[in-house]
Structure 1
């Protein structure tokens, strides 16, 4: 029996001490790490090899993490985890708007970082989310249709007006969660638990910004904001 291929992570961090310590910690967990100290080198490494996940610092020389994230998103839906030294609101929002799936604030505990990485990798594997706090949805036997939007949960294909829409893993997981409960309001904590795979009672901007990105792709009026409660997919 062949050995399983280790997950490869591209780490882009300009601080050499942090870069080495994070790489060593991830390697102890069995990950294969490719590291770069600036954004342009990171972009070259990304284009030259196959990486299962990208771990990007926000503040980078040559090409910052936000710009690097945007460049990667032009051709790839690989999971991206941003790192911010301050947890600055602008850094977080800019990273998520650029296409990052999640973020952590440095310094970050290794166990927390690995938990976030595992969560992102599960989402990237396109495992449909479980049922939320409501009754389990009926068994799906074909594509789900919501106006001009159709979603085939088996084929994991989304179409709008007949045209295939390319969604990042987290966006697809989010749409699957909404489609499993059409017309039902899902609060942010529920979405964090079922889509992001962790409970978090703090900053929920990651949900709001992912909803914004999804709306741009499937139609702004398809997901309704229920002020003070959460979001729901229009039937």
Structure 2
């Protein structure tokens, strides 16, 4: 079930509320709208993911225990697609879920039972904090430019043109990680932890992703920029 408010004269910020308890959802929706924010609601995780992808909200208020898709799994999906602020909602006894949610990238949490006015205040605080963050400068390594916020990697050609690299999400994460510290050797386990955090991939899976990434860089005229360091992992740019 979807409910949205019309645009407000106070704000056009959209909050996606993913909550399966109708009473809690109704109360929070009313308080959020009363504060001048727009609100869309979903009663299960799968609907929440669909609305997230179609509506691109400014913040997600996410219950942990949901039908269809668990809240933590939904959080992983949200984090795999960007840095939309997320506030998780959990029961008092769910300290493990609460901590895990923060490790996965949640910006804040609230514990049931809660004061709806406090929840709205948390929403406003997170929106202010995330809006105030300065834009992150693109990473430049040679002819390659990586915009992590825009999630695009470009190759600048000699004639002044720039062409995008057709990378998968994992390939983009790997390139951004390696390019952030050129010539540093990253272990396979480090790359799995930081570039495939939602996966239980074995270390050899990284080799496959790196192989495909290297091939795409070669096709783009960037040579063999990624070097395999025997027994350790990978680094960007060969040492001469």
What range describes the TM-score normalised by the shorter chain of this pair? 0.5 to 0.7
Residues 10 and 37 in structure 2, CA contact (< 8 A), matched pair in contact too: no
Match in the other structure for 1:43:
49
Residues 175-218 of structure 1, C-alpha deviation per residue, up to 9 Å, x if partnerless?
A: xxxxxxxxxxxxxxxxxxxxxxxxxxxxxxxxxxxxxxxx958x
In the alignment, the residues of structure 2 paired with residue 158 and residue 84 of structure 1 have an alpha-carbon distance, to the nearest angstrom, of 36
Q: For 1:83, what is the secondary structure of its paired residue? A: strand
Match in the other structure for 2:38:
32
Q: 1:108–1:126: structure 2 CA closer, same or farther, 3 Å change rule?
A: same
Match in the other structure for 1:103:
109
Q: How much has 1:160 moved relative to structure 2?
A: 9.0
Residues 31 and 117 in structure 2, CA contact (< 8 A), matched pair in contact too: no
Q: How many residues align?
A: 144
Structure 1 runs of 4+ aligned residues shifted over 3 Å read 2-5, 158-167
Gaps of at least 5 residues in structure 2 are: 1-7, 150-192, 196-240
In the alignment, the residues of structure 2 paired with residue 117 and residue 4 of structure 1 have an alpha-carbon distance, to the nearest angstrom, of 15
Q: For 2:41, what is the secondary structure of its paired residue? A: strand
In the alignment, the residues of structure 1 paired with residue 12 and residue 107 of structure 2 have an alpha-carbon distance, to the nearest angstrom, of 21
Normalized against structure 1, the TM-score is what? 0.54
Q: 1:35–1:126: structure 2 CA closer, same or farther, 3 Å change rule?
A: same
Query: What is the 5 A alignment of 1:27-176?
Result: 27-127=33-133, 156-157=136-137, 159=139, 164=146, 166=148
Is 2:16 the counterpart of 1:10?
A: yes
Residues 10 and 36 in structure 2, CA contact (< 8 A), matched pair in contact too: no
Q: How much has 1:156 moved relative to structure 2?
A: 2.9
Higher Cα Rg: structure 1 or 2? 2
Residues 14 and 59 in structure 2, CA contact (< 8 A), matched pair in contact too: yes
Q: How much has 1:164 moved relative to structure 2?
A: 4.5
Match in the other structure for 2:224:
none
Q: How much has 1:166 moved relative to structure 2?
A: 3.6
Q: How much has 1:32 moved relative to structure 2?
A: 0.9
Q: How much has 1:111 moved relative to structure 2?
A: 2.6
